[in-house]
Amino acid sequence: MTSPLGFDPIEEAGRQWRKHWGPAATVPMMAVTSIMRVQQIWLARLNETLAPFDLTFARYEALMLLYLSRAGSLPMGKIGVRLQVHPTSVTNLVDGLEKSGYAMRTPHPEDRRTTLAAITDRGRDVASAATNALNDSRFGTEPLRPGELRSLTEVITRARREAGDFI
């Protein structure tokens, strides 16, 4: 991580925005820019926590889908739908999990056109250990308190729902 700036660049952008486009345009710009910056900070913290497990947060999410699935396996297409990512991304995620020995591809028992990604015993152990590490770090959300995180989740959930992210 780079050294902290001596000023808040989003506040400075807000000052410039107000000058050129007025206060009404400044509020949404600052909110979105702030959310995007926090996403970068939190993702870096998560990836740092997961690095000892040879995981990125994206691979951790895929591994957890397999860990939490009833059968310990899911069709590759279903992984993409649940993670809301392109099929190429699913291929790359599963490739990484296979390389680490956390998952393997298997043929679907009833549909020859479908390939399943299945969690391995090693993958189960790592998923559990990585989750404990993330829980211990509060998923990198310090210094926010639980009530603040609940409020933040409620607001963002509303934005996601109204954007059509889910019904």
Q: Which domain holds residue 64?
A: 54-162
What's the whole-number average pLDDT of the chain? Answer: 96
Task: Give the contacts of 92 (CB within 8 A, at least 6 positions apart).
Answer: none
Q: For residue 109, what pLDDT band results from cuts at 50, 70 and 90? A: confident
pLDDT of residue 18: 96
Q: In this structure, is residue 26 part of a structural domain?
A: no
Q: In this structure, is residue 8 part of a structural domain?
A: no
pLDDT of residue 111: 87
Instruction: Give CA–CA dist 79/87, Å, rounded.
Output: 9
Q: In this structure, is residue 17 part of a structural domain?
A: no
Strand partners, 106: 116
- Is the per-residue pLDDT at 113 higher than 80? yes
CATH number assigned to the domain comprising residue 69: 1.10.10.10
Q: In this structure, is residue 6 part of a structural domain?
A: no
Spatial contact of 153 and 144, defined as CB atoms under 8 Å apart: no
Q: In this structure, is residue 3 part of a structural domain?
A: no
Number of domains in the chain: 1
Strand partners, 116: 75, 106
- CA 2 to each of CA 10, 41, 44, 141: distance values in angstroms, whole numbers, following the listed order: 16, 11, 12, 19
Q: In this structure, is residue 146 part of a structural domain?
A: yes
The reported pTM is 0.91
- Is the per-residue pLDDT at 82 higher than 80? yes
Structure tokens at 83: 């993670």
Q: In this structure, is residue 39 part of a structural domain?
A: no
pLDDT of residue 5: 93
pLDDT of residue 1: 60
Q: For residue 112, what pLDDT band results from cuts at 50, 70 and 90? A: confident
Q: In this structure, is residue 156 part of a structural domain?
A: yes
Spatial contact of 65 and 43, defined as CB atoms under 8 Å apart: no
Taking residues 118-145, what's their average pLDDT?
98
